[in-house]
Amino acid sequence: MKNIYGITLSQLENYFEKNNYKKFKATQVFEWLYKKRVSSFDEMTNMKKTTIEELKNEFVFENIKIVDKKAGQDVIKYLFELKDKNLVEAVLMKHDYGNSLCVSTQVGCNMGCAFCESGRLKKIRNLETYEMVLQILKVEMDLNIRISHIVLMGIGEPFDNYDNVMNFIDIINSGKGIDIGARHITISTCGIIPKIKEFMENGKQINLAISLHAPDDEIRNKIMNINKAYPINDLIDVLKEYIKKTNRRVTFEYVMLKNINDTEQCAITLAKLIKNMNAYVNLIPYNETRHIAFNRSDNETILKFYDILKKNKINVTIRKEFGNKVNAACGQLRANHERRDK
pLDDT in tens, 119-173: 677 899 999 999 999 999 999 999 999 999 999 999 999 999 999 999 999 999 9
Between CA 202 and CA 166 the distance in angstroms is 9
pLDDT for the residue numbered 330: 54
* Same domain (yes/no): 41, 75: no
Looking at 11, 42, 60, which one is the last position of a domain?
60
Alpha-carbon gap, residue 182 to 184, rounded angstroms:
5
| Nearest-10 crossing angle of helices 129-143, 162-173 | 40
Which residues in the chain land under pLDDT 50?
A: 328, 339, 342
Q: Are 48 and 76 in a shared domain?
A: no
Of 199, 76, 78, the closest CA to residue 134 belongs to 78
Domain boundary pick from 16, 33, 60: 60
**Could you say which of 10, 26, 60 is where a domain stops?**
60
Q: What angle do CA 22, 27, 32 make, to 5 degrees?
A: 125
CATH code of the domain in which 284 resides: 3.20.20.70
Domain check: are 41 and 149 in the same one? Answer: no
* One domain, residues 52 and 70: no
Q: Catalytic pick from 89, 117, 131, 157?
A: 89
| Residues 212 and 334 placed together within one structural domain of the fold | yes
| Same domain flag for 181 and 330 | yes
Q: Please indicate whether residue 330 is annotated as part of the active site.
A: yes
CATH of the domain at 15: 1.10.150.530
- Record the pTM: 0.93
Phi/psi at 254 (nearest 5 deg)? -140, 100
Residues 172, 238, single domain; the answer is: yes
Domain count, the chain: 2
> In degrees, to the nearest 5, what angle opens at C-alpha 169 toward C-alphas 80 and 150?
60
Assess whether 81 and 10 both reside in one domain. Answer: no
Whether 172 and 280 share a structural domain: yes
* Structure confidence at residue 16 (pLDDT): 96
Annotated catalytic residue 253? no
Are the beta carbons of 136 and 5 closer than 8 angstroms?
A: no
Residue 339: the pLDDT is 47
Which residue in 102, 113, 266, 330 is the catalytic one?
330
Which domain, by its residues, includes 41?
Answer: 2-60
| Residue 59: closest CA among 25, 95, 107 | 25
Same domain, yes or no, for 101 and 20?
A: no
Same domain as 290, residue 224: yes
Residues 208 and 298 in one domain: yes
For residue 118, the model assigns a pLDDT of 73
Q: State the Cα–Cα distance between residues 202 and 296, nearest whole angstrom.
A: 37
pLDDT at 121: 75
